[in-house]
Chains A and B, each alone.
Chain A
Amino acid sequence: MTSFLIGLFIATLIVALFTMRLYRLILWYSLNSLSLALLAITIGYSINDNTMILSGFLTLVLKAILIPYILKKVSVKFGLSRQIKPNVQIHYSIMLIPALLVFTFYLAEPITNMMVSNANYVAISISALFLSLLLMIEHKNIAPKIIGFLTIENSLFLLGTTATGGMPMLIELGIFFDLLMAIVIINLLFHQEEEEGLE
């Protein structure tokens, strides 16, 4: 089950890299967070850790429902362009993404050798980190960059969940509220881009 959800996590991330539409990208982000939340709940249930289950539910509510909803509402409000064209052409990213994956799996090998349990998930979450960096790099518009930032946070959460068996509750809560604040600040950035678009 865990392996299935990790597969879904990285699959949604890769499909997001190929997306050319903004609302579709937000949908993929939401599915990505959904699989992450289910993963946290499953792992928390199996190791009997209540705080991890709680943070899983928080992820479900905040990242899978609330943040995509706010992002969509804001982008409708400011009339952002729905076409997002990546700077890196898709033909190149077909070559780039597998190369990146092999590179990160190879990179993570020393770490996975040190780990005792769930060692291989670390490799997946580090590669998810790099893929979301690629998502930030390959777009010029602000909205996909935001989504890239949010997926970086998702993959860090995955790293924390699978590698350490859950970060302390206080840190998790702090990160969640930071994210919400970041979304509020992003609002202002959207506003600025809209003004630039008008000129």
Chain B
Amino acid sequence: MILYTTTIILMIVIAPLLPSFMKMVKMTLLYKKPISIFQGYRDFSKLLSKEIIVSKETSSITSMAPFLVLSPLILTLFFLPPIVKGEYFVSFIDAFTITGLISLSTFFLMILGLDSASSFGGLGSSREAFISALAEPAMILTVFSVSLMADNLGVGQASINLNNHFPFEHMASFIFAGISFFILLIAENGRIPVDNPETHLELTMVHEAMILDLSGFYLMLIESASSIKFMIFSSMFASLFMPFGLHLPIILGVLVFILKLFFIALLVALLEVNTAKLRLFKIPNLLGIAIVFAFLSLITFYVLGV
């Protein structure tokens, strides 16, 4: 029980490090003076000390929605696959529940964007709806095909099964699912080929457009929600698609897990430096590739596996 709680608190604590790490890598590669890796914490403490200003046009949604954005994501953290051996609680939830919880959080974020009735908010919300609606089917298919390979529908047990016995005969299907999930990781977290997290330019922004009106504590909640979302996706990628290291001793296992997370962040950062942002109307093509690969991984499971 203590171990379980500790790992979840550890995940929440690490979560702000990953976006700062990605930014650090990017700035280093662009020959800028890199920011500190602890910049995420500094931003949070700065935002905590600022006052909250709410536009008088808004309804009560604006004061509720930031909590409702954060809470489904925190709930999802409890259901993620275990990161060390012998954990107290192995979750039983499947692809539908995880996708549902994540899109519940996205729904409240969109409501929040619409609430202040600024033109930017509506623009950002419609784009977010567009992207997340396309990402959902691929996400469900991908997680299901991994669950099929691991012989269990629950995500947590699937990860343990993959660790115990890796299905080498399904390697092709596994790769397709991996590619599809990586595209989803980029699309859902608003990294560069889909959305640029650093600009405030109305042509490009998706996530930033919805939270332009927020300040202080509410902004901190939303920012932490987005870093926890990245944490959820990268931790699922780490435990489902890099299935090793669960049987190490506890401290070593946690270290290996953290290394995997930073490796994923490094991959995303390298991809961000090397690619340009896609036009909004080309995003369906990228997510279409994700859907094709997810579907292909399901078919090849049946064709190649037996």
Contacts and interface: CB of A to CB of B under 8 A. Distances in A.
Contacts of B152: none
Given A7-B176, A11-B176, A98-B296, A124 B289 contact: no
Contacts of B43: none
Give the one of B170, B293, B296 with max A CB within 10 A: B296
A20 to B, nearest CB: 9
Contact of A105 (B176, B284, B289, B303): B303
A90 B176 CA distance: 19
Which secondary structure characterizes the binding site on chain A? helix
Interface range on chain A: under 10, 10 to 19, 20 to 34, or 35 or more?
20 to 34
Contact of B171 (A4, A15, A105, A123): A4
Interface of A: 1, 3-4, 6-8, 10-11, 14-15, 18, 90-91, 94, 97-98, 101-102, 105, 120-121, 123-124
A8 B296 contact: no
22 contacts: A1-B168, A3-B168, A3-B171, A4-B172, A4-B175, A7-B171, A7-B173, A7-B176, A8-B175, A10-B296, A11-B179, A14-B292, A14-B296, A18-B289, A94-B288, A98-B292, A98-B296, A98-B299, A101-B299, A120-B303, A123-B303, A124-B304
B300 interface: yes
A97 B296 CA distance: 9
A10 B292 CA distance: 12
B203 interface: no
A14 B293 contact: yes
Contacts of A120: 303-306
Given A18-B289, A98-B295, A124 B300 contact: yes
Given A3-B170, A7-B174, 6 more contacts: A3-B169, A6-B304, A8-B175, A98-B295, A98-B296, A123-B303
Interface in B160-193: 168-176, 179
Interface string B263-306: 00000000000000000000011001101110110011001111
A91 B176 contact: no
